[in-house]
Structure formats: structure tokens, C-alpha cells
Amino acid sequence: MKTPYDTAMRVRQRDLDEVSAAIRREAGELGQVEREQARMRAAVRDEALLATADVTLISPGWQRRVQNAQQSLSDRQAELQHRLEALREVAIDGYGVLRGIETAAQDYRADLGRKVAAAEQATSDDMSAAAFLKTLRIQRRRASGD
């Protein structure tokens, strides 16, 4: 049964679908950043093992580049986590609004059902009353005509 809330529910659901897709994209990108951080930590660990064998292999330039790359990844991770949290808040609010609209639509349907049932009952009552009055008139005519 259609309600005046159906369009609002579809629009809100479409908005939530878009937010959900954005959350998946951000979470995927965050996963990539975390994997890159793990790869860089492994590279630093490997270089540290090599450097313990030969101190002349330590390169300050390489260390600076790795530190800068790690800082860049950490900054990117923090930014992505912040955006992801913001998107999750939007999703939570959106779901709350959607549930409110769905509840209003259910209430509308229930109210409409009660109104229809009341109208059907009133029609039935009217038909019963009319039949009773008709029977009463017939009995009075018979009683007066006898």
C-alpha cells in the first residue's frame, strides 16, 4: 500500500546507499595505506638487519625518505580514519531518519487500515439498520392491515 512517505524513504535509502559506497571506498583506501605502512616497516626492518652487518650501508638520505614516506602514510591514515568516522556518523543519522520515516509509513498504513475497517463496519451497520427498519415497516403494515 502506497503512503505519502514512500518517496522520502526511497530518497533516504538512495542517500544511505551512496554513503555506504563511500564508506566502502574509504575503508578500502585505508586498508591500502595500512598495507603500505606494513610494507615500509618491513623494508626498514630489513635495512636495519643489513646495516647491523655493515655500518657503511646506512644511508641518511634513504632514512629521511623512509621517515617522510612513513609520516605521509600516517597523515593519510589519520585523514582517512577521520573521513571514515564522519561518514559513519552520517550513516547512523541517516538510518535513524530512515527508521523514523518507515515508522511513520507503518503508522499511516495502520491508521488507514483502521479507517477502512471502521468505514466497512459503518456500512455494515447501516445496511443492518436499513434491513431492520424495512422489516419493522413490513411488520407494522401487516399489523395495521390485519
At the topology level, CATH places domain 6-145 in Helix Hairpins (1.10.287)
Domain ranges of the chain: 6-145
Q: Global pTM?
A: 0.67
If residue 37 lies in a helix (H) or strand (E), which one and from where to where? Answer: helix 6-53
Q: What is the pLDDT of residues 45-67, one digit of tens each?
A: 887 777 776 656 667 787 788 88
What is the pLDDT, as a whole number, of residue 83? Answer: 95
Whether 119 has a pLDDT exceeding 90, the answer reads yes
CA distance 55 to 36: 27
Which region among 7-11, 35-39, 45-49, 103-107 has the lowest average model confidence (pLDDT)?
Answer: 45-49
Whether 38 has a pLDDT exceeding 90, the answer reads yes
